[in-house]
Structure 1
Amino acid sequence: MSKGFFGHPAGLSTLFFTEMWERFSYYGMRAILILFMTASVADKGLGIDPSNAGAIYGLYTAAVYLFTLPGGWLADNILGQRKAIWYGGILIMIGHLILAIPGSPGIFVVGLVFVATGTGLLKPNISTVVGDLYPEGGARRDQGFSIFYMGINLGSFLGQILVPLLADYNWHWGFGAAAIGMFFGLLQFRLTQGKLNDLGLKPKLKEETEEGKVVRKTNTVLTGILALALVGFLALLQYFKVIDVTTATGIAQAVGIIIVVITLFYFLYIMVAGGLDPVELKKVLVIFCLFIGAALFWSGFEQAGSSLNLFARDFTNRMIGTWEMPAGMLQSVNALVIIIFAPIVGWIWVKLAARNLNPNTPIKFGIGIILMGLGFVVMYFAAQYAAAGTKVGMGWLWFTFFLHSIGELTLSPVGLSATTKLSPKRYVGQMMGIWFVGASLGNLIAGLFAGGVDAENASQMPALFMSVVVFSVISGALFILFNPILKKWMGNVN
């Protein structure tokens, strides 16, 4: 593989720009999604109430991460990574084109399904091919992923600037810009994929042993039993009016219950019948704790596109001179902070490690969750001004996004790395899937939370934001408090 992209394999440029344009389309569209749904019909929106709009937003963003599980399986067993990336990009582009055409809420949901399905195909598999560029592993592989990560944030930043700007004139121009962005990604992928040589062309399917067939058959039976039990459980909840699956909010709540139950069942099954030795068992317990921490963090962080986006629209003074900045553009702060501070945070960890002071994973998780909570401390005070009838300055949201972004840098890369290191070798792929499920659950919660941010009832917002503060600070403190135990269970994994 020739070197041709910042001293790395030339194929990295193909993947860098494909992911950059895909993230342009995803985050650009996400920046206007809930705003479009809650805008009145007179303003060319869908006129959906905040509660149901938040639930739809949560279901969509949760599906994006959940669909990475079947997307990875299809690539490994049938398509190969290259075809999965190509077809995934096509589905994403079609979805955005559907959203760009004015239509009914039903057609709108169809567009979201296309985007979520395509993202589930593309996102996990493009990262897999990045890893395949470096069969030797090591620090150079980490550097390659860092460059790739910069492409993600560059696309995110540009998308969250341009798409909301166009949507401010016409919602469907914004959705159309997302489609064009994905088209550029597909075009350059098709034209430059030769740089990848034969990487990702064939499925990674290996011959299955008799033992593997028995395990798969057992898992299929257990999955069927669990599915029936879940259906019965949800039916009971519906019967006793705990949830209402005839509404978007009720469906989102039901999906949340399903995700939690399946995850708990999976961990229980692995720990009881997964053939783990005592050391592996303790490491899997740590992964379970990291899953909970990740879900908590993303449930607050991902409110950037839901509750905080609505706050930016309804309660924030966005005037710069005579021009009013579109609300969705404020989300670009996150990507900008990541681009600027990712090298700085990485440098800090290296310097601390040289002095044997580098915090281990549970402490970094605790810090990340607490930083997310501190961001909502800022929003608590901003919400008090808003509840009193005063529009707040954009600096409140900027500072919140800054704290959340530093929290992301403290938690997300560390959690991803720790999961790969802690997982028993035969379960690495599944545990990585669980990491995405944690993000899915967090996104779903973030969407449901947005239902409480209502321009007609601003007085309830301070209490809503303070509930996030209390929950996150206590959770982060617990990670730090129980660090000695978790560190012991982790063994030699930092």
Structure 2
Amino acid sequence: MSDHYTKHDIVNSVPQKGFFGHPKGLFTLFFTEFWERFSYYGMRAILVYYMYYELSQGGLGLDQTLALSIMSIYGSLVYMSGIIGGWLADRVFGTSKAVFYGGILIMLGHIALAIPGSLSMFFVSMVLIVLGTGLLKPNVSSIVGEVYAEKDERRDAGFSIFYMGINLGAFLSPLIVGKVGMDIDFHLGFAIAAVGMLFGLIVFIVTKKKNLGLAGTVIASPLSAAEKKNFIKIFISSAIALAAIVYFGIQYGFLTFDSFIATVGVLGILIPTIYFIVMYRSKKTSEVERSRILAYIPLFIASVMFWAIQEQGSTILAAYADTRTDLSFAGITISPAWFQSLNPLFIITLAPVFAWLWVRLGSRQPSIPQKFSLGLLFAGLSFLVILLPAYFGGSNTLVNPLWLVLSYLIVVLGELCLSPVGLSATTKLAPVAFSAQAMSLWFLSNAAAQAINAQLVKFYTPENEMMYFGLIGGASIVLSIVLYFASPTIQRFMKGVR
């Protein structure tokens, strides 16, 4: 690390008590991410409807299937950009500055959406939010890992608390932004999302010095003077080349929605593959770290399968809520955007239970691969549940909303087995020279999943939904079984990490 600070020095600079028995820095990171997720998930709760609702309804009037694919690609790019954010944090300005710069770009992106305009403003916002989230999201999670000692038994519980903060913001925002956006005006809803990100920036700036100490300020592997010059040249050349490709692609018709979606789909698989190879072959990676990288690969694949199901809650299940669900229930009219609050609501309720469970079990808790296999099992079951309404009532009748509620509940059980554990495992298994970038790699599993989803959603129709949900859910359960039996072998390659 630069400045000759060790991990021990960083941990000692952070007040270790002050937030539910955890390091005080967790307070800063909890509320920064709370407001960032409020802003992102508020925007996302109404974005797909904004795309396919007619112009007369305040939307963009896109084809629904195209809107679902764009939504998946949007999510994929958001997480894919994390690899850039992680690299910049590790090599250029550190994780703390990455969080700050990212928050500014996200806020500007939501402001662009709040301006009544056209499809062009949508794409401007897309670029800003993609780049901003790539800087903020992996790096704020990486700082959480820095405030704990390597063998601190509070680490998994700390990530679960942090994850609860994420989901508290994600729970409230669809209720507020969804109500305003769907019932009053989409652009006003996006404006509320922008204000949420502003609050997150204020919390981070005001409290970071006192609560975080050195966490987030140390550049893991800084560029040399020669490398900086080379980086600037590559950055400028790449920006010019990309601008030329976009311009001539649009002019001559080879850059279309379909070709763009296909390209992102290929990148979603190719980029993490290349990244695993680079980390494994790096001279900065020790033999123990190489073994841990090999152990991380099956966990990464399992994560892709899980997120391929979970992320369809904002695409296929969002459309399902809008077009297939009876929105009159118990004497009230339900907004379809409100279903986006179910996933975080269940996480808020159950995350403390899981955090307590892992601490209570201590050394007797399931291994990391076993927790991942449980996550895949629940994800598969959540899709098998949602095919039942069509089996019992056909594809032409409106579905009781409780079926959707049950599906979201089951997938949350899987998420709590896999996602916070995956964040924690990544900080444990990551090579030292790639600490922030490894966290970006974890989020690339989500990018790969959503890139795949951009193609999968094209096959969904109400008429074939039983086969659609059944095949994907069944594949997840099969992979869960394979991973469970491979767990002892994977555990050996982790070299002491549990």
Which whole-Å CA distance do the structure 2 matches of 1:419 and 1:126 have between them?
Answer: 14
1:394 and 2:401 are equivalent in the alignment: yes
1:449 is aligned to 456
2:43 is aligned to 29
Moved more, 71-80 or 149-158: 71-80
User: 1:51 touches 1:452 (CA, 8 Å); kept in 2?
Assistant: no
1:337 is aligned to 346
2:385 to 364, 375, 378: 378
Q: Give the deviation of 1:95 after TM superposition.
A: 0.9
Which whole-Å CA distance do the structure 2 matches of 1:280 and 1:4 have between them?
Answer: 33
TM-score (norm 1): 0.84
Report Cα offsets for 1:47-93 as digits up to 9, x if no partner: 21123212211221112112222223333444444433232222111
Q: Give the deviation of 1:374 after TM superposition.
A: 0.4
User: 2:372 touches 2:417 (CA, 8 Å); kept in 1?
Assistant: yes
1:325 is aligned to 334
Moved more, 198-207 or 64-73: 198-207
User: 1:78 touches 1:203 (CA, 8 Å); kept in 2?
Assistant: no
One-letter identity of the residue aligned with 1:175: F
2:414 to 389, 392, 407: 407
TM-score (norm 2): 0.83
Cα gap change, 1:200 to 1:36, in 2 (>3 Å)? same
Which whole-Å CA distance do the structure 2 matches of 1:157 and 1:22 have between them?
Answer: 12
1:58 is aligned to 72
1:93 to 107, 119, 130: 107
Q: Give the deviation of 1:452 after TM superposition.
A: 3.6
Report Cα offsets for 1:215-262 as digits up to 9, x if no partner: x99xx9xxx9xx9xxx9xxxxxx9xxxxx9643233222222123233
Cα gap change, 1:185 to 1:270, in 2 (>3 Å)? closer
Q: Give the deviation of 1:96 after TM superposition.
A: 0.9
Q: Give the deviation of 1:282 after TM superposition.
A: 4.2
1:477 and 2:477 are equivalent in the alignment: no
In structure 1, the gaps of 5 or more residues are: 232-237, 239-243
Q: Percent identity?
A: 39
Cα gap change, 1:167 to 1:79, in 2 (>3 Å)? same
Q: Give the deviation of 1:305 after TM superposition.
A: 0.6
2:472 to 462, 468, 471: 468
2:124 is aligned to 110
| 1:20-419 correspondence runs (5 A) | 20-134=34-148, 138-169=152-183, 170-196=185-211, 199=214, 202=217, 204=219, 206=221, 246-268=255-277, 270-271=279-280, 280-353=289-362, 356=364, 358-384=365-391, 387-419=394-426
2:444 is aligned to 437
Cα gap change, 1:32 to 1:343, in 2 (>3 Å)? same
Which whole-Å CA distance do the structure 2 matches of 1:131 and 1:187 have between them?
Answer: 22
Q: How many residues align?
A: 465
Q: Give the deviation of 1:414 after TM superposition.
A: 2.3
Q: Give the deviation of 1:269 after TM superposition.
A: 5.1
User: 1:57 touches 1:306 (CA, 8 Å); kept in 2?
Assistant: yes
Give the secondary structure class of the aligned counterpart of 2:371: helix
1:487 and 2:491 are equivalent in the alignment: yes
Which whole-Å CA distance do the structure 1 matches of 2:223 and 2:453 have between them?
Answer: 40
Cα gap change, 1:90 to 1:277, in 2 (>3 Å)? closer
Which whole-Å CA distance do the structure 2 matches of 1:362 and 1:4 have between them?
Answer: 32
Cα gap change, 1:142 to 1:178, in 2 (>3 Å)? same
Q: Give the deviation of 1:295 after TM superposition.
A: 0.7
Moved more, 147-156 or 424-433: 424-433
**Aligned Cα root-mean-square deviation (Å):** 3.2
Cα gap change, 1:156 to 1:247, in 2 (>3 Å)? same
Which whole-Å CA distance do the structure 2 matches of 1:427 and 1:120 have between them?
Answer: 16
Which whole-Å CA distance do the structure 2 matches of 1:480 and 1:405 have between them?
Answer: 19
Which whole-Å CA distance do the structure 1 matches of 2:39 and 2:449 have between them?
Answer: 21
Which whole-Å CA distance do the structure 1 matches of 2:485 and 2:145 have between them?
Answer: 35
Q: Give the deviation of 1:441 after TM superposition.
A: 0.8
Cα gap change, 1:36 to 1:387, in 2 (>3 Å)? farther
Cα gap change, 1:344 to 1:206, in 2 (>3 Å)? closer
Give the secondary structure class of the aligned counterpart of 1:392: coil
Report Cα offsets for 1:7-56 as digits up to 9, x if no partner: 55554433322211111011111111112111122222112112321221
User: 2:305 touches 2:376 (CA, 8 Å); kept in 1?
Assistant: yes
In structure 2, the gaps of 5 or more residues are: 1-13
2:9 is aligned to none
One-letter identity of the residue aligned with 2:334: M
Which whole-Å CA distance do the structure 1 matches of 2:449 and 2:113 have between them?
Answer: 25
Report Cα offsets for 1:373-423 as digits up to 9, x if no partner: 100001111244574311111111111111111101111222233333334
Q: Give the deviation of 1:366 after TM superposition.
A: 1.6
User: 1:387 touches 1:461 (CA, 8 Å); kept in 2?
Assistant: no
